Amino acid sequence: MSEKKSQSDETRGSVEFRTLATESLSRETFPVGGQDPEATYQVLSEELLLDGNSKQNLATFCQTWESNQVHRLMDLAMDKNLIDKDEYPQTAEIERRCVALLADLWNAPKGSQVGCSTIGSSEAAMLGGMAAKWRWREKRRAAGLSTDRPNMVCGSVQICWIKFARYWDIEMREIEMSPGRLCMDPEEVLEKVDENTIFVVPTLGVTYHGLYEDVQAISEALDDLQARTGLDIPIHVDAASGGFLIPFTRGEHKPWDFQLERVKSINSSGHKFGLAPLGVGWILWREKKDLPEELVFHVSYLGGDMPTFQINFSRPAGQVIAQYYDFVRLGRSGYAEIHNGSHEVAQYFCSILKTLGEFDIIHDGAPEMGIPAVVWTLPEGANPGYNLYDLADRLRMRGWQVPAYPLTGTYKATPVQRILVKLGFTKEMADLLLQHVKEALDYFQKHPAHTPLSAEEGGSYCHL
Ligand SMILES: Cc1ncc(COP(=O)(O)O)c(C=O)c1O
């Protein structure tokens, strides 16, 4: 720290810095000449201070803190390209080990380790979706049936699935929220599926409210459908957050993973509750046959052959190495300690928030119900002199990013507000946020908002 400070003091005092400080960095045209590296670094790093403070970013699901060891490993891996399996065989081995460890964690059939890293859950969703489309098409072609109208059935999903459906020409049959049904219901799933359904996608937990959808109940409903009609519809689980929470957190969790025969693939974000730095996700298939061979490309590896399936070619290797570090450094007990701690802080935050008497709670952060998040709304018909967009705006003045946004279906005009509790959000910080919420409510009591903010004006990026 002090070394960094003295270096920046020295730079600030330099002639190069003083020269740069009186000029703007080139913004529109490619600069003709270069300039001093330290002074440039200093100016740029100070510009970055204008970004939000990630410690107070309670909107993102992604990690905002990494250990010193992870920083050092990332530095070591700066020059490694994950695709160059031949040049970096040990990194390729580390990626293989991660897939093996995840296959174990998610109860894949013994000896089955089919999967890969991705840049995040969005790429993983794309790969899982493509594999499902290809499997469905193959089956239909073999039976001499048409393949021109594939569809998928899901609840209120993250935007990556809307992209997948649009890019791959899939009809999306989304089950939106309705009274008493914030998660996808097995009966509604059965109403939507047909012979053209490539898969059903339950989410753990739903981005809007963090609650876990009931994969087991959906799987059983589809088993029943198959017994009655012969229709065999696979499940892909979007466990972007839950994949790295449910295996570790306390309380009773129903089977959701490869223990269920119908679950053919699972995605999760390493950079969310997997605790790795930004830029890594995972997708695993139940068995080799669930990933169609046509989609797999082969690269040479130690003179041999390495199958790959990904959208990008070049990709940084550091995130995968850091992910493996997290797995072996923390083990199951370390992940359990961290994530149960986050649930505790979330539940603590919620218990105090409730005492303010202003909000209805949608998710209180209980580990059996969903991810370590707290989600609340104003009671129907309440007119407290502000709305949740006003509150989000007011909290932003203290640096907090606590997004407000509407739900879907019946609730598409109902704003909710959410915090995500991750490693690094301590009870101390929860107390400070609660204090700032109380101050904001006091402010609105004295100065009610005459023209409350709209979703467009007050909505911040909420990762939906
Ligand atoms: C349920 C769900 N799926 C997919 C994604 C996309 O994940 P990523 O940001 O890793 O691409 C998110 C992101 O928040 C999510 O919550």
Exposure of 75 by Cβ count < 10 A (0-12 exposed, 13-18 middle, 19+ buried)? exposed
- Asked if 346 and 396 touch (Cβ cutoff 8 Å), the reply is no
Lateral strand order in the sheet of 360-363: 360-363, 373-377, 415-420, 404-406
- Residue closest via CA to ligand 1's atom 13 equals 463
Q: State which CATH number among 3.40.640.10, 3.30.590.10, 3.65.10.10, 3.40.50.20 fits the domain covering 72-326.
A: 3.40.640.10
Q: What is the dihedral of CA 97, 215, 123, 121, to 10 degrees?
A: -70
Is the minimum distance from the CB of 221 to ligand 1 under 6 angstroms?
Answer: no
Among 121, 323, 461, the mutation site with the greatest number of ligand 1 atoms within 8 A of its Cβ is: 121
Of 165, 124, 129, 464, the closest CA to residue 312 belongs to 124
Is the minimum distance from the CB of 238 to ligand 1 under 6 angstroms?
Answer: yes
Domain boundaries, given as residue ranges, for the chain: 2-51, 72-326, 333-458
Cα–Cα distance measured from residue 459 to residue 325, given in angstroms and rounded to the nearest whole number: 37
Q: What is the dihedral of CA 221, 227, 232, 237, to 10 degrees?
A: 30
- Asked if 342 and 421 touch (Cβ cutoff 8 Å), the reply is yes
Is the minimum distance from the CB of 203 to ligand 1 under 6 angstroms?
Answer: yes
Query: Given the CA of residue 125, which atom of ligand 1 is nearest to it?
Result: 4
Can you give the pLDDT of all 464 residues of the chain as single tens digits? 455 556 667 777 787 777 777 888 999 999 999 999 999 999 999 999 999 889 999 999 999 999 999 999 999 999 999 998 888 999 999 999 999 999 999 999 998 889 999 999 999 999 999 999 999 999 999 999 999 999 999 999 999 999 999 999 999 999 999 999 999 999 999 999 999 999 999 999 999 999 999 999 999 999 999 999 999 999 999 999 999 999 999 999 999 999 999 999 999 999 999 999 999 999 999 999 999 999 999 877 767 777 889 999 999 999 999 999 999 999 999 999 999 999 999 999 999 999 999 999 999 999 999 999 999 999 999 989 999 999 999 999 999 999 999 999 999 999 999 999 999 999 999 999 999 999 999 999 999 987 878 777 776 666 67
Of 378, 379, 380, 382, the closest CA to residue 391 belongs to 378
Q: 272 is written with which tokens? A: 């969310």
Is the minimum distance from the CB of 207 to ligand 1 under 6 angstroms?
Answer: yes
- Residue closest via CA to ligand 1's atom 5 equals 121
Domain 333-458 has CATH 3.90.420.10: no
- Torsion-angle region of residue 409: left (phi > 0), alpha (psi -120 to 50) or beta? left
